[in-house]
Amino acid sequence: MSPALVLSGKTREINGSYDSLEMLYQKGVKHMYDNGIEHVPSKYILPAAERPNVNSEKNGSPDELNLNLPIIDFAELQGPNRAQVLKSLAYACENYGFFQLVNHGIPEEIISNMVNVSKRFFEMPFSEREKYMSADMSSPVRYGTSFNQTNDGVFCWRDFLKLVCHPLSDVLPHWPSSPFDFRQLVVSYAKETKLLFMLLVEAILESLGLKNRENKTEGVNDDDVDDDDILKELEDDGSQLMVMNCYPPCPQPDLTLGMPPHSDYGFLTLLLQDQVKGLQIQHQHNWVTVQPIPGSFVVNVGDHLEIFSNGRYKSVLHRVLVNSMNYRISVASLHSLPFTSTVRPSDKLITDTNPRRYKDTDFASFLDYIKSCDSKKKNFLESRKLY
């Protein structure tokens, strides 16, 4: 039997084996595509109302579905125009939950090497990739497919490699050793994005009115002690998770998604993507496609920052479209407090007119949530809200 026939979505009728069908799905979409898939299997077909091509008044015309995110010039943020850029940063976090970061200072070679080594990993034979498959959410390295392949009722068109990046000395021996330069290139990228994240967090705190950079030269005010503790905790013990995503061409992209609507559990996510469009965010009740800017990062507010800011900055739903022609590669670097930390609204952002809006949360609660449900919505963050 030819691979194309097996993968045509008729497997169950041909051999009557549900187990072999499930085994096929668990190997991921890259494996299916490499073996000549002709149709999207039923396991990947979304209900009609959740498909990306649903037409409605809210969706508008195709020309209206493209979005140029607010642009933050990192070089300007570090210069004399910092105050004005901070206002733009606050506006982006409040109204979009996303912004595009340009002139970030990470060398182009490190950026291109990261995209390249990600492609080469997914191009390895499945026998190499499957060595890292694991259902253990706490594993320092995990290869998988869909969003949560253990519980997802409908799978999505994505394979991923997740790497815990802190502490590097502990996790590095568990990372893939192939391609031969994988560890070297990913370590360089992880270190650069961590430094960039820390500078962005400092700006975020300043934009929230929680920190004044000028006070550094005069000694730290008592009011700044808590925020300095947060910065130190993020720098010394903060979590960093790297997710490399592979979206192979899909024969029927209007029936499925690369990732379902979700928000990111963390403080900030720095997304590096190639020039193939696919990322969509929910903005003013519309799904809009983010236009890639070469060499930039798409940065988004995570659930932790929305909680910490007591709702001022928004962790926004986003999803990923797939296409029938091109591979799409993206690398998400997700940063937050240590996995053992409790996240709560900053006391300085709670007032009589803006009372506390969120419960405390921790990583254990989040793990319990994603293990127990078919997670396609922003339900975890919603469950943290007090009203």
Give me the residue spans of the domains in the chain. 1-39, 47-212+223-384
* Complete edge-to-edge strand list for the sheet that includes strand 297-301: 71-73, 98-102, 297-301, 268-273, 328-336, 239-247, 159-164, 141-145
What pTM value is reported for the model?
0.88
Name the phi and psi angles at 66, rounded to 5: -95, 145
Distance CA 290, CA 67 (A): 5
What pLDDT is recorded for position 134?
Answer: 85
Which tokens is 350 given?
Answer: 């709670």
Indicate the length of the chain as a whole number.
387
pLDDT reported for residue 26: 83
Q: What pLDDT, on the 0 to 100 scale, is given for residue 153?
A: 85
In terms of DSSP bridges, do strands 239-247 and 297-301 run parallel, antiparallel, or are they unpaired? unpaired
- CATH class entry, domain 47-212+223-384: mainly beta
Res 55: pLDDT: 46
| CA within 13 Å, CB half, 124 | 22
The span from the CA of 45 to the CA of 255, in Å, is 5
**Taking the chain (387 residues) in consecutive chunks of 10 residues, what is each chunk's mean pLDDT?**
37 45 84 90 93 56 68 96 97 98 97 97 96 86 87 91 95 96 98 97 96 52 54 89 97 95 93 94 93 94 95 96 95 92 92 92 74 58 81
What lies within 8 Å, CB to CB, of 175 at 6+ separation is 140, 141, 163, 182, 183, 186
Tell which residue, 298, 327, 260, has the closest CA to residue 67.
Answer: 298
Tell me the torsion sign for CA atoms 209, 213, 216, 218: negative
- Res 227: pLDDT: 59
For the chain, list the strands marked E by DSSP. Answer: 66-67, 71-73, 98-102, 141-145, 159-164, 239-247, 259-262, 268-273, 279-283, 286-290, 297-301, 318-320, 328-336, 342-343, 361-362
Gap between the Cα atoms of 344 and 358, Å rounded? 7
Per-residue pLDDT, 105 = 96
Give 186-215 as a DSSP string: HHHHHHHHHHHHHHHHHHHHHHTTS--GGG
Burial label for 116, CB within 10 Å (0-12, 13-18, 19+), is middle
Structure tokens belonging to residue 145: 């497919």
